[in-house]
A and B are shown apart, each in its own frame.
Chain A
Amino acid sequence: MTATSGESKDSQALAALTELARNSMEPPSTAELDQGLDALLSRIGAGKARRRGFLRWSIVAATAACGLVALQIASRAPKPPFPSKPPALVYQIEGGSVLEGGYLRESGHAGIKLSFNEGTQFLLMPGSRGRLRAVDKEGARIAIEQGTASFRVTPSSDRRWLVEVGPFLVTVRGTVFTVFWDASSERFELRLRQGRVVVSGPVSGGDIALRGGQRLVVSLPKAETLITEEKPEESAGEPVGAPASRAAPTPTERPPSAARPSAVTDRATARNAAATPAASTLAKIDDDHRWSDKLASGHWDRILEEVERAGVRVTLEKAPSEDLFALADAARYGRRASLARAALLAERRRFPGSPRSLDAAFLLGRVEESTERGRHRAVEWYDEYLAHAPTGAYVAEALGRKMILTDELEGAASARPVAEEYLRRFPRGSYAGSARALRRVP
Chain B
Amino acid sequence: MLTRRSQAPLSLVPGPGRRDVSDGGLARGLIAGEVWAIAETWHRFAPLVITTAERSLGSKPEAEDLAQEVFYRVFRKAKTLREPDSLRSFVFSFAVRVIKTELRKRRARAWLSFQQPETLVGLGCATLDMESRDLLRRFYALLDRLKARDRLAFTLRHVESMTVEETAAAMDISASTAKRSIVHAETRLSRWIEADPGLAGFLDAKGWDR
Contacts and interface: CB of A to CB of B under 8 A. Distances in A.
By secondary structure, the B interface counts as helix
A134 B66 CA distance: 11
A101 B121 CA distance: 8
Interface in B79-128: 106, 109, 115-119, 121-128
A333 B46 contact: no
A128 to B, nearest CB: 15
Contacts of A85: none
Nearest to A397: B129
B32 interface: no
A39 interface: yes
Interface string A1-42: 100000011111111111011101111100011001101110
Contact of A101 (B61, B71, B128): B61
Given A298-B138, A300-B198, A143 B61 contact: yes
B46 A33 contact: yes
Contacts of A103: 118, 121
Given A21-B136, A25-B124, A297 B141 contact: yes
Interface stretch (B2-10, B21-29, B49-57): B49-57
Contact of A32 (B64, B68, B139, B158): B64
Contacts of B129: 397, 400, 430
A293 interface: yes
A27 B47 contact: yes
B31 to A, nearest CB: 15
A97 to B, nearest CB: 7
A366 interface: yes
B147 interface: no
Interface in B118-154: 118-119, 121-130, 132, 134-141
Interface of B: 38-39, 42-43, 46-47, 50-51, 54-55, 58-62, 64-65, 67-68, 71-72, 75-76, 106, 109, 115-119, 121-130, 132, 134-141, 158-161, 186, 189-191, 193-194, 196-199, 201-203, 206, 208-210
Given A13-B203, A25-B60, A395-B126, 16 more contacts: A9-B210, A13-B199, A14-B190, A15-B158, A21-B136, A22-B55, A22-B158, A27-B50, A36-B46, A101-B62, A101-B117, A134-B65, A293-B116, A297-B141, A301-B197, A430-B127
